């Protein structure tokens, strides 16, 4: 399209919107000004409400801070990549250099010179698979499920997971139990300040145990396990037990120099780590995640699902581009940390006990059945999560907690405005 044509259309568009605005204003002048006055008066009296919010990727008027998503939207580089590759979706293809990039990103040497590889030779694929340490799928959720299946084994396996914790491995085992298998779940309570209790998890091991799940940082508590403790733990458990470490939120750890567990996954035969593009890179809706694992574990995963089956061309390109979007990562971390500091300050003023978080969400004790607070907030357009759902094995440790995902500053401001009102009315 010629520049002139574009300008003409833009001018026409501006004209229409101006005309419509003027006509609308003349038609309903009284009504408009009354509504505006009322809205303004309400704002003066109560501060911003959800109606003033236009969140990324959700309809206007909703403060969506319940699912630990990225409130800034998606990595702009990922969006560019999706646009560039949109006309390739008629093809079966992994599409991008993502597997290679992931190895490089994590400092894992593939030990093959890419420039000399003949990709038409099937031996090339086999050679790469020998060295490969990455497994990709449509989000880390399906991968966690698959890892759960490895733990279930012949239907007699036992898993150990913290309570409160993400619980997906436990759910896989419970599903098999419901279907009549002889699987078993052990939920180990966290310490009083919601840290995962590795000593207690180790003490819980039985001859039946096949897998131990550690979410680090933990969801929903936001707490972390010190790396040295994790390494000691991994080295102290029997080698036939899979140690699964879910690092969905690892980018948000607020401790300088904190070491992730990737090295454990490549150096130990019984360790597997998962990561996701859903959080820090803002690609939850694209569905892409990956695992890094030792060869014995990877081989078993491949048997179930093959290589990258659940990944789409677009998600693969989006993830590959996002991995290099350092500005977006930095910006997301800043907004997250600022948001947490804001909430910490406000909760302190209200005298509420919160758990300092190494993630993009945090929990706060509301001193009463949290479902009531969540329902009231929802009526006001503010979506947060009740801790009530994190229960099992006769425990319900977060029944009085809500979990708040960190939103943009205006979203958190509205949350706080409404939260104070709801808490005031409830006390």
Ligand X SMILES: Cc1ncc(COP(=O)(O)O)c(C=O)c1O
Q: H-helix or E-strand containing 328?
A: helix 326-350
Stretch that binds ligand X, among 1-9, 34-42, 54-62, 133-141 (CB under 6 A): 133-141
Stretch that binds ligand X, among 138-146, 179-187, 190-198, 317-325 (CB under 6 A): 138-146
Q: Which of 132, 183, 215, 386 binds ligand X (CB under 6 A)?
A: 215
**Which DSSP state fits 273?**
E
Instruction: Please give the Cα distance from 224 to 205 (Å, whole number).
Output: 21
Least distance CB 145 / ligand X (angstroms): 9
373 touches ligand X by CB under 6 A: no
Least distance CB 161 / ligand X (angstroms): 11
Buried b / exposed e over 96-129, threshold 16 CB at 10 Å, is bebbbbbbeebebebeeeeeeeeeeeeeeeeebe
Footprint of ligand X on 349-368 (CB under 6 A): none
Instruction: Please give the Cα distance from 264 to 272 (Å, whole number).
Output: 8
Number of Cβ atoms within 10 Å of the Cβ of 342: 16
248 touches ligand X by CB under 6 A: yes
**φ, ψ dihedrals at 111, nearest 5°:** 70, 20
Nearer to ligand X, 215 or 223 (CB): 215
Which residues have a Cβ under 8 Å from the Cβ of 170 and sit 6 or more positions away? 159, 161, 185, 187, 213, 392
57 touches ligand X by CB under 6 A: no
Least distance CB 288 / ligand X (angstroms): 7
Beta partners for 392? 395
First to last CA, the chain: 62
Least distance CB 1 / ligand X (angstroms): 38
Nearer to ligand X, 185 or 280 (CB): 280
Least distance CB 366 / ligand X (angstroms): 21
Least distance CB 315 / ligand X (angstroms): 11
Least distance CB 272 / ligand X (angstroms): 13
47 touches ligand X by CB under 6 A: no
162 touches ligand X by CB under 6 A: no
141 touches ligand X by CB under 6 A: yes
The DSSP secondary structure of 21-72, one letter per residue, reads: HHHHHHHTHHHHHHHHHHHHHHHHHH---GGG---TTS-TT-EE-SS---TT
Number of shown-chain residues binding ligand X (CB under 6 A): 14
183 touches ligand X by CB under 6 A: no
Q: Which of 102, 253, 271, 284 binds ligand X (CB under 6 A)?
A: 284
289 touches ligand X by CB under 6 A: yes
Nearer to ligand X, 214 or 422 (CB): 214
- Coil, helix or strand for 159? strand
- Helix, strand and coil content of the chain, in percent to the nearest 5, comes to 50, 15, 35
Q: Which of 65, 71, 163, 166 binds ligand X (CB under 6 A)?
A: 166
Q: Which of 158, 246, 260, 325 binds ligand X (CB under 6 A)?
A: 246
Least distance CB 177 / ligand X (angstroms): 22
278 touches ligand X by CB under 6 A: yes
Residue with tokens 């995962």: 196
Q: Helices 326-350 and 409-426, interaxial angle, to 10°?
A: 20
Q: Which of 219, 221, 357, 370 binds ligand X (CB under 6 A)?
A: 219
Nearer to ligand X, 108 or 144 (CB): 144
68 touches ligand X by CB under 6 A: yes
Instruction: Please give the Cα distance from 161 to 237 (Å, whole number).
Output: 14
Q: Using H for helix, E for strand and C for coil, what is the string for 356-412?
A: CCCCCEEEEECCCCHHHHHHHHHHCCEECEEHHHCCECCECCCCCEEEEECCCHHHH
**Beta pairing class for 401-405 and 385-386:** antiparallel
Nearer to ligand X, 49 or 216 (CB): 216
Nearer to ligand X, 152 or 248 (CB): 248
Stretch that binds ligand X, among 134-142, 228-236, 301-309, 317-325 (CB under 6 A): 134-142
75 touches ligand X by CB under 6 A: no
Which residues have a Cβ under 8 Å from the Cβ of 269 and sit 6 or more positions away? 239, 294, 295, 296, 297
Nearer to ligand X, 64 or 276 (CB): 276
Which residues have a Cβ under 8 Å from the Cβ of 41 and sit 6 or more positions away? none
> Which spans of this chain sit near ligand X (rule: CB under 6 A)?
68, 139-141, 144, 166, 215, 219, 246, 248, 276, 278, 284, 289
């Amino acid at each position: 399209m010629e520049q002139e044509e574009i300008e003409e259309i833009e001018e026409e568009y501006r004209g229409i919107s101006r005309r419509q605005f003027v006509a609308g204003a003349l038609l309903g002048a009284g009504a408009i000004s009354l509504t505006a006055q009322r809205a303004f008066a309400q704002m003066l009296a109560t501060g911003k409400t959800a109606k003033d919010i236009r969140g990324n990727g959700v309809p206007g008027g909703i403060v969506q801070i319940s699912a630990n998503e990225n409130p800034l939207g998606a990595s702009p580089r990922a969006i560019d990549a999706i646009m560039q590759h949109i006309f390739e979706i008629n093809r079966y293809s992994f599409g991008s250099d993502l597997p290679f990039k992931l190895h490089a990103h994590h400092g894992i040497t593939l030990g093959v010179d890419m420039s000399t590889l003949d990709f038409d030779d099937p031996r090339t694929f086999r050679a790469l698979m020998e060295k490969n340490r990455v497994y990709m799928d449509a989000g880390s959720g399906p991968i966690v499920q698959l890892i759960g299946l490895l733990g279930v084994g012949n239907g007699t396996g036992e898993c150990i997971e913290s309570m409160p914790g993400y619980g997906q491995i436990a759910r896989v085992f419970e599903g098999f139990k419901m279907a009549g298998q002889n699987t078993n779940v052990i939920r180990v309570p966290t310490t009083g300040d919601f840290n995962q209790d590795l000593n207690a998890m180790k003490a819980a091991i039985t001859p039946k145990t096949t897998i131990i799940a550690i979410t680090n940082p933990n969801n929903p508590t936001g707490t972390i396990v010190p790396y040295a403790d994790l390494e000691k733990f991994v080295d102290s458990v029997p080698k036939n037990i899979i140690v699964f470490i879910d690092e969905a939120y690892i980018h948000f750890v607020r401790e300088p120099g904190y070491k992730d567990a990737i090295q454990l996954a490549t150096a130990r035969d019984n360790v597997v780590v998962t990561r996701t593009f859903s959080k820090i890179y803002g690609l939850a809706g694209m569905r892409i995640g990956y695992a890094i694992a030792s060869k014995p574990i990877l081989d078993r995963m491949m048997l179930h699902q093959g290589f990258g089956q659940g990944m789409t061309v677009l998600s693969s390109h989006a993830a590959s581009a996002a991995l290099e979007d350092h500005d977006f990562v930095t910006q997301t971390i800043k907004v997250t940390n600022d948001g947490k500091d804001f909430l910490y300050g406000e909760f302190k003023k209200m005298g509420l006990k919160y758990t300092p978080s190494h993630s993009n969400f945090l929990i706060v004790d509301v001193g009463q059945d949290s479902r009531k607070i969540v329902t009231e907030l929802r009526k006001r357009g503010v979506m947060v999560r009740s801790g009530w759902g994190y229960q099992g094995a006769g425990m319900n440790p977060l029944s009085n907690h809500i979990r708040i995902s960190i939103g943009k500053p205006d979203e958190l401001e509205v949350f706080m405005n409404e939260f104070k009102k709801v808490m005031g009315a409830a006390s």
